[in-house]
Structures are given as structure tokens and as C-alpha cells.
Structure 1
Amino acid sequence: MERYNELRQGETGAWVSIIAYVILSAVKLIIGYVFHSEALSADGLNNTTDIIASLAVLIGLRISQKPPDEDHPYGHFRAENIASLVASFIMMLVGLQVLLSAGQSLFSSEHQTPDLIAAWTAAGSAVVMYGVYIYNRNLSKRINSQALHAAAADNKSDAYVSIGTFVGIMASQFQLAWIDTLAAFVIGLIICKTAWEIFRDASHSLTDGFHIKDMSKYKETIEATPGVGDLKDIKARYLGSTVHVDVVVEVEPNLNIAESHDIADEIERRMKQEHDILHSHVHMEPASKSKEEKKSFPS
């Protein structure tokens, strides 16, 4: 129930992004067109894709809140990862389109110098998007949401893109109108880079990839649990932003079921307390040798 409440809180961050992107994309596209700034138009087009990406995150968070059912006994948490994946595809398509358009314009002989109002529009957008990034970053950490973390990364990228747009437009005022087009090309590269990073993280989770450094922390916690002989095996995977851990440990063979069960409960308690892992499956096996025997007679 706690996890579902956290996912509902994550919807607020998605809505903040959507509202900001709707307003900023409309303003940038209009001003970019009227005042002849390709960089600002590219930035505005980038924000229109961010609307779709944020909607995908919102839908993913909504689906993730559905309780387990007959077809999904582990719940629907991976909808978060799929939402991030969809968002990355959309962003990559637009990034490539911006690159193509800017690349063609770079080799054109006609370049119009954009008005300074386009530069100040980009500067204001950077301030707004950085504020949205701070909000979503803090919220994603608090509720441990991978989808919202991806949205926050996109927010930060957009803030940097707007700063680049501002610099490009200002530079174009010095009889270097082509710099505005070059800024649009760089923006396209940033969009593609952000899309790739989101795709990489989402696909890693969906294919049951797991970071080794996190696994090492789990091993230390389990091995330090009283009653654990040897840690024979440990596996972990992401279900959305939640972690499921499967553990096989050896315990003294003379323990009864209740005593072994107490050790398993203690492992689960420590994993939750120290690593915020709500789902640990612990399998107990009788040790072939006690710890003292293994120290005295190393194999």
C-alpha cells in the first residue's frame, strides 16, 4: 500500500512537467517563428515531445498503481519502465528531425538574425525548467520512482538546451546569424543524447539487469545477519522502481523450522530497513559444515 501511495504522489511531478511544457512550447514556437529563431523553434519543438513523454510517464505511473491480478501476480510496476522507453523513442525521433532540419539550414546561404526577444524567452524558459527539474528530482528521490527520475533528467536537459539557445541567439547578433542554426543543431544532439540515456536505463531494467555495486551492499547486509552461515546465492531485479531480491543462505543444520524462519525474517527486516527493499525471498539450506569447521579445515 505504501508503494502505491508513493506512485500517486509521483503523478504530481508528471502534471507539473506537462503544464510547464504546454505553456513553454507554445510560447517558443510562436516567438521562434515570428522573430526568425531556428534555435528557439527547435527548443519549442523539443518541448512538444516532452509533453508526450511526460504523458507517457503519467500513464505509466497510473498503470503501476494497479494491484496484482491473475495475469500480473507481481503487480504492474514495470509499466514505469515501459513509459520511460516510449518517451525515449519519441524524443529520439524529434531529435533526429531537429538535426536534419538544422543540418540543411547550416548549408543554406540565407540566415536571418533573430530578434533579442527570442533570447530572453529562452533565458526565462531555462529558469522555469530548472525549477521544474529541482522539484521532480527531489520528488523522485523521495518516492524512488525511475519514471519520474527520467522525467527530471529530461527537465534538466531542457534547461540546458534553453541556455544554449540563449547563447546561440545572443551570438547571432554580432553578424553571425548562422550561430543560431548551429545552436539548433547542438540542441538536436542533446535531445538524442538524453533519449539514449533514458532508453539505456529503461531497457537495462526490463531485461533484468542490475548494478553490481548495489548487489555488493546487499551481500554485506545478509552476511552480517546473525545465524547466517554462508550466502550461497543472491539475485536481484527491478520491477519498476521496486527491487525484488532472491537469496539462498546456509544455516546450522541442527536449527528447527521456527529458528530458521526467524533468521529469514531478520534478513528481510534488515533489507527493508537498510536498503528499502520491500520484497525479499529467502531460501534456507542446512550448512554442510559449521563456520568454525570451515575456518579450521579450509576447502
Structure 2
Amino acid sequence: MDWRYLFNTKKKAKKKIHSAQIIISVNMIIYLIIAAFELVLGNLTRSAALVADGKNNVTGILSALILLVGLFYSSKPRDEFHMEGHWQYEVLAVFLSGLLMVLIGINCMWVATLKTIFIFNHGTEKLNIIACYAAGISGSVLLVEAWINYHKGVTLADSALLSSAKDYLSDAVTSFVTLIAIGIALITGWYLIDTFSAILLGAYISINGGQIISQSAAKLSNGFNPGLKNKYLLSLKRLPSIEKVIYMHARYSGDNIILELAVGVDANLTIRQVEAIRKDIVAILTADETFLYCCIEFRPFKN
């Protein structure tokens, strides 16, 4: 007998997207203030690391804008061309924000390399301690924002917010490394530390962007976390009423899971008993994750 169970996640998903939109809008404003602050002071104090940090925060502005566009389109209702809705737009936005991070990181490395060559050939003007204060303030604000975004992202199970949290944490680390690099340069007078740290920061930004690309690309290509799949299989096998999990296929639509499942049960069970098993399966699957829908097939099974 075939059972198709549709999980009604529309209201919950819409509320989640609305909350994410508000948080990311605030993120964009904070990034705008910090980026302008660091870029202006970085140029005034001749600090390559602080300028690189400011450019990194510019990616935060653009990433927030991309995520907002993605969240807007993902909230659209389904139509004849998108029967499962437009949830993948959010994942696509996360992918693009990761790509942007990679490109900005490469740009930071290139500019810092050019400045390093210039210093070797012509020397440089002295740095200013104001650059240290700017990096410290920036890092502290970004670290608080990283925690807020991570906490909300876990609570709402939202990949856009978790991506934003990772971006914030990356930027906070970048700012603190900038603070240390400028401080060492001021104490030792070896200003190449400033440009070398800018190169390392560019590499760090690119690596974090690459990780975001990898995770979102897995969702876009219908990949699914094997660890999560094994967790479901182990949980279902513990149900005494299920003789065997015949097959399980899972994929993502945005942050929502779509699952196709076939289980073997006693051929002599009544409809009421099978319905009770279905409820047990639903309770296990929806305990920690958000499902768009699940197709559960019950097949008679004999040992």
C-alpha cells in the first residue's frame, strides 16, 4: 500500500525567510558602516592590511544584498514551472556570495603583492596606531554579529544566516589578525608584515568562500549529507514495526528536505496499524529537520 505524506511547512518557511531578511538587512547596514570606516582609515594610515580588511567587509555588503535577493525569490509561491516552489534561489544566493568572497580574496592578495613589491623598491610611509584601533573595533562588532547570526541560523535552520555567520566570523578573525599585524609592524618598524598579512588575509577569505561554494553546490546538485541519511536509517531501523528500510532517497529544495522512502512491514497489518507506523516515522524525521514533503511507501515483507 502506498502512502504519500505532505508536510505543511509553508507558513513556517515564510516566517523563517522573513526573520532572515530582517537580520541580513541589519547585517548590510553594519557592514556598510564598518567597510567605510576601515577603507577611509586604511588609506589615511597607509595600512594595506586595514584596506584589505575593509575590502573584505565590502564583500559582506554585496553578499548581504545577494542573500536578500535570493530570500525574496525563494519566498515566491510555486507555479506551473516550479512545482516544489522557489526555495533553491536561497541556496543559489549562498553559492554566489561564496563566489564573491573568493574573488575579493584573490583581489586582496593581488593588491597586497603589488604593494609588497613597491615597498621593496621604494620603501613606505610609517603606519599610524589609529589603524590598530579601527581593526579592534571592527573585529569586536563583527564577532558579536557572527554569534547573533549563528544563533538565529541554528534556531531557524536557515542556510543564508549560517552562511552570513560564517562570513562574519571570517571577517572578525580578519580584523583581529589585522590588529596584530599592524601592532607588530608599529613595534618592530618592519612594515612588510602589514602587506604579508594582507596576502594571508586574502587567502583566508578565498578559502572560506570556497567552503561556502562547496556546501551550497552540493545542495544545488541534489546532493545530501550521508551522515544525516545514516542517522535517519538508524532511527527507522530501531522501530520494531519496520522489518526493513528498502530504500531511501533524499535531496534538498532550499533548506527543506524532500525524501522518498520505502519500508517493509508485516503483510498482515491493518490500515490503522500502518497509519500508526506512519506517524512514528513522521515524528522521527521531523524531530530536528524541516521537510518539504516525504513520499512513504509501505511494502509487505516476509523474512
TM-score, normalised by the number of residues in structure 1: 0.92
Asked whether the 8 Å contact 2:35–2:54 carries over to 1, the reply is: yes
- Larger CA deviation: 217-226 vs 166-175: 217-226
Structure 1 residues 108-127: aligned runs within 5 Å: 108=118, 109=121, 110-127=123-140
Structure 1 residues 89-128: aligned runs within 5 Å: 89-108=99-118, 109=121, 110-128=123-141
Q: Please point out which of 194, 197, 217 is paired with 1:180.
A: 194
AA aligned opposite 2:22:
T
- Larger CA deviation: 12-21 vs 272-281: 272-281
Residue 35 of structure 1 pairs with residue 49 of structure 2: no
AA aligned opposite 1:121:
A
Asked whether the 8 Å contact 1:32–1:118 carries over to 2, the reply is: yes
Which residue does the alignment assign to 2:145?
132
Offset of 1:274 from its aligned partner?
5.1
Deviation per CA, 1:124-147, whole angstroms, max 9, x where unpaired? 000000011011000000100011
Partner Cα distance (1:215, 1:273) in 2: 14
Partner Cα distance (2:57, 2:30) in 1: 9
Which residue does the alignment assign to 1:19?
29
Deviation per CA, 1:199-245, whole angstroms, max 9, x where unpaired? 01000111111122111111122223353221100111121111122
Which residue does the alignment assign to 2:173?
160
Asked whether the 8 Å contact 1:28–1:44 carries over to 2, the reply is: yes
Structure 1 residues 265-280: aligned runs within 5 Å: 265-273=279-287, 275-277=289-291, 279-280=293-294
Query: Is the alpha carbon distance of 1:274 and 1:241 closer, same or farther for their aligned partners in structure 2, counting shifts above 3 Å?
Result: closer
Asked whether the 8 Å contact 2:102–2:205 carries over to 1, the reply is: yes
Which residue does the alignment assign to 2:3?
none
Which residue does the alignment assign to 2:72?
62
Asked whether the 8 Å contact 2:91–2:254 carries over to 1, the reply is: yes
Offset of 1:258 from its aligned partner?
4.8
Offset of 1:256 from its aligned partner?
4.2
Q: Please point out which of 190, 197, 202 is paired with 2:211.
A: 197
Asked whether the 8 Å contact 1:13–1:135 carries over to 2, the reply is: no
Query: What count of residue pairs does the alignment treat as equivalent?
Result: 289
Which residue does the alignment assign to 2:87?
77
Q: Please point out which of 19, 36, 41 is paired with 1:9.
A: 19
Partner Cα distance (2:189, 2:105) in 1: 27
Partner Cα distance (1:103, 1:150) in 2: 29
Partner Cα distance (1:96, 1:274) in 2: 38
Gapped regions of structure 2 (runs ≥ 5): 1-10
Deviation per CA, 1:5-38, whole angstroms, max 9, x where unpaired? 1111111221121011100111111111111111
Higher relative contact order (CA 8 A, sep 6+): 2
Asked whether the 8 Å contact 2:255–2:290 carries over to 1, the reply is: no
Deviation per CA, 1:170-201, whole angstroms, max 9, x where unpaired? 11112111111111111111110111011010
Asked whether the 8 Å contact 2:218–2:224 carries over to 1, the reply is: yes
AA aligned opposite 1:130:
L
Structure 2 counterpart SS, 1:273: coil
Deviation per CA, 1:91-125, whole angstroms, max 9, x where unpaired? 11111111111112222222222111011100000
Query: Is the alpha carbon distance of 1:274 and 1:57 closer, same or farther for their aligned partners in structure 2, counting shifts above 3 Å?
Result: closer
Q: Please point out which of 238, 245, 265 is paired with 1:224.
A: 238
Partner Cα distance (2:19, 2:252) in 1: 20
Query: Is the alpha carbon distance of 1:251 and 1:66 closer, same or farther for their aligned partners in structure 2, counting shifts above 3 Å?
Result: same
Partner Cα distance (2:235, 2:13) in 1: 23
Partner Cα distance (1:178, 1:29) in 2: 19
Which residue does the alignment assign to 1:146?
159
Query: Is the alpha carbon distance of 1:276 and 1:220 closer, same or farther for their aligned partners in structure 2, counting shifts above 3 Å?
Result: farther
Residue 46 of structure 1 pairs with residue 56 of structure 2: yes
AA aligned opposite 1:164:
V
Indicate the percent of aligned positions where both proteins have the same amino acid. 27
Which residue does the alignment assign to 1:244?
258
Asked whether the 8 Å contact 1:111–1:178 carries over to 2, the reply is: no
- Larger CA deviation: 221-230 vs 86-95: 221-230
When the two chains are superposed, the root-mean-square deviation of aligned CA atoms in Å is 1.5
Offset of 1:259 from its aligned partner?
3.8
Asked whether the 8 Å contact 1:271–1:280 carries over to 2, the reply is: no
Partner Cα distance (1:84, 1:225) in 2: 37
Asked whether the 8 Å contact 1:242–1:277 carries over to 2, the reply is: yes
- Larger CA deviation: 51-60 vs 125-134: 51-60
- Larger CA deviation: 143-152 vs 233-242: 233-242
